[in-house]
């Protein structure tokens, strides 16, 4: 067991070698004190004063213009009441530079239970305060940003969401903190989409794409979203930051333009240009997966007479009626196209027999249609199935030739292209 002298020596060594600043003052509160009776090397390094310059002086020599007087008043009140006290304020080094100090003070009692000294443990927290101020400023700036910002940790758990995110999604930041952005998923984007995203992020690359998300109330919204990994000075990924731009109006305009470009205004079927794309896509499937491919070309019989006798409004109405029948009879995956004025094309990933069955159902449905003004209307149809090594143009040529043979043979009938 250590003797009193040895204990005192040990405490002195500990104080001298302590990382944090240690200051001991007397308890003189009446004569301008308390006054410094001991300070360790860490305290001297923090303040820039030599020990000889501090001993016998009041710690008030460290105060200056930015020292918070309310903190000092609280400190002195604590000393008078002989209580433990803790606080922080601005102090000044010998060279005049300010620093933020956090310190706690404990009274030291003598044998008579009276306070003889005060011991203070102090720490320069300037860097921490500055970092916190910069963080607060950044948070304030992000919260004032017009666009949503989301920050997650490296495990993709949300650690920050700004006010714009709250406004867009309907979620409060507290509701999403600790969760992953998956709670915004609409289920309308494929696993390949998210796989591509994570491949980029795992390689510390940014990822930008259009996301289809859902709000807290279940409504859908579109954003152009950019996600970037945040890497520290060691090259380790610590966070992800995401910024978004709501593009609902842009998506609606794109859809409208797409509809204008691909959907025939009168019939709702595909336009000729969109039909060309659908036909070439079907041809690619035919070659890549050895699927059968057939085409049906339809033409309204005596359509010029309808226009000449009843007018173009009646002609348009007949075209619309037949387009609806084509749309009803064709399978959902088989493109139906307004190929010309009164001419239609149906593209089937099916063989000749299936195409013939569809053509006959369609012919009968049109034949049974009665327009209140025009009366009965009929349809002539030509069919061709893709042959090995044949081009799209050759396929269409055979179907078109079959159509004209049906016309010459009396109309209201189906003809098959040569080669089937």
Q: Which residues are catalytic?
A: 342
Q: Give the pLDDT band (50/70/90) at residue 145.
A: confident
Tell me if 420 sits within 8 A of 401, measured CB to CB. Answer: no
How far apart, in Å, do the first and last CA atoms of the chain sit? Answer: 110
Is the model's pLDDT at 121 over the cut of 60? yes
**Does domain 140-251 sit in CATH 3.30.450.20?**
yes
Nearest to 125, CA basis, from 94, 79, 96, 91: 91
The class (CATH top level) of 4-124 is alpha beta
Residue showing tokens 């239970």: 113
pLDDT of residue 2: 45
Predicted local distance difference test score (pLDDT) of residue 300:
96
- Residue-wise pLDDT for 347-373, tens only, equals 999 999 999 999 999 999 999 999 999
Sign for the pseudo-dihedral over CA of 379, 384, 390, 392: positive
Which pLDDT score, from 0 to 100, does residue 52 have?
94
Up-side HSE of residue 399: CA atoms within 13 Å toward CB? 31
**DSSP code string of 157-196:** -EEEE-HHHHHHHS--HHHHTTS-GGGGB-S-S-HHHHHH
Q: Is the pLDDT of residue 420 over 60?
A: no
Kindly indicate the confidence band of residue 1, based on its pLDDT and cuts at 50, 70 and 90: very low
Per-residue CA distances from 293 to 346, 349, 394, 398 (Å): 11, 5, 13, 13
The string of pLDDT tens digits covering residues 222-234 is 999 999 999 888 8
CA–CA distance, 355 with 162 (Å, rounded to integer): 58
Residue 8 has a pLDDT of 66
Residues ≥6 apart with Cβ < 8 Å to 184: 169, 211, 213, 214
Better-scored residue on pLDDT, 83 or 397: 397
pLDDT number for residue 12: 77
3-state secondary structure of 340: coil
Q: Indicate if the pLDDT at residue 260 is higher than 80.
A: no
pLDDT band at 404 (very low <50, low <70, confident <90, very high): very high
Phi, psi of 296 (to 5 degrees): -125, 120
Is the CATH code 3.30.70.270 the one for domain 263-416? Answer: yes
Domain spans of the chain? 4-124, 140-251, 263-416
Most confident listed range (7-11, 234-238, 402-406): 402-406
Closest Cα to residue 22, out of 38, 35, 5? 38
The reply to whether 140-251 shares the fold of 4-124 is yes
Token couple for 377: 């209307």
Q: How confident is the model at residue 47 (pLDDT cuts 50, 70, 90)?
A: very high
> CA–CA separation, 219 vs 163, rounded Å?
19
Instruction: Provide the pLDDT for residue 161.
Output: 93
Across 52-95, where does the E strand assignment appear? 85-92
């Amino acid at each position: 067991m250590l003797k009193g002298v040895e204990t005192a020596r040990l405490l002195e060594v500990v104080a001298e070698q302590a990382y944090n600043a240690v200051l001991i003052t007397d308890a003189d509160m009446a004569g301008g004190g308390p006054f410094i009776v001991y300070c360790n090397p860490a305290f001297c390094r923090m303040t820039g004063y030599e020990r000889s310059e501090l001993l016998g002086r009041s710690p008030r020599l460290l105060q200056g213009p930015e020292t918070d007087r309310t903190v000092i008043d609280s400190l002195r009140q604590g000393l008078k009441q002989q209580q433990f006290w803790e606080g922080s304020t601005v102090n000044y080094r010998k060279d005049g530079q300010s620093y933020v100090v956090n310190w706690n003070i404990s009274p030291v009692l003598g044998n008579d239970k009276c306070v003889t000294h005060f011991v203070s443990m102090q720490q320069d927290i300037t860097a921490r305060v500055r970092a916190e101020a910069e963080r607060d400023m950044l948070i304030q700036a992000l919260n004032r940003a017009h666009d949503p910002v989301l920050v997650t940790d490296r495990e993709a758990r949300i650690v920050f969401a700004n006010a714009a995110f709250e406004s867009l999604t309907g979620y409060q930041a507290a509701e999403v903190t600790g969760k992953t952005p998956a709670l915004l998923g609409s289920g309308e984007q494929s696993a390949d989409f998210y796989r591509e995203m994570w491949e980029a992020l795992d390689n510390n690359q940014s990822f930008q794409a259009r996301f289809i998300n859902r709000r807290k109330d279940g409504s859908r919204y579109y954003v152009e979203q950019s996600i970037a990994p945040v890497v520290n000075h060691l090259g380790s990924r610590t966070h992800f930051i995401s910024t978004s731009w709501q593009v609902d109006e842009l998506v609606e305009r794109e859809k409208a333009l797409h509809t204008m470009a691909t959907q025939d205004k009168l019939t709702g079927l595909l336009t000729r240009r969109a039909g060309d794309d659908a036909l070439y896509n079907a041809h690619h499937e035919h070659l890549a997966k050895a699927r059968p491919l057939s085409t049906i070309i339809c033409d309204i019989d005596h359509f010029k007479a309808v226009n000449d006798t009843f007018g173009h409004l009646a002609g348009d109405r007949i075209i619309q009626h037949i387009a609806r029948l084509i749309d009803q009879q064709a399978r959902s995956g088989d493109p139906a196209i307004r190929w010309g004025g009164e001419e239609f094309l149906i593209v089937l990933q099916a063989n000749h027999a299936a195409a013939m069955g569809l053509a006959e159902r369609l012919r009968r449905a049109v034949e049974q249609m009665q327009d209140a003004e025009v009366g009965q209307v009929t349809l002539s149809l030509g069919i061709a199935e893709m042959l090995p090594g044949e081009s799209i143009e050759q396929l269409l040529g055979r179907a078109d030739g079959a159509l004209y043979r049906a016309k010459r043979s009396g109309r209201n009938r189906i003809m098959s292209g040569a080669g089937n």
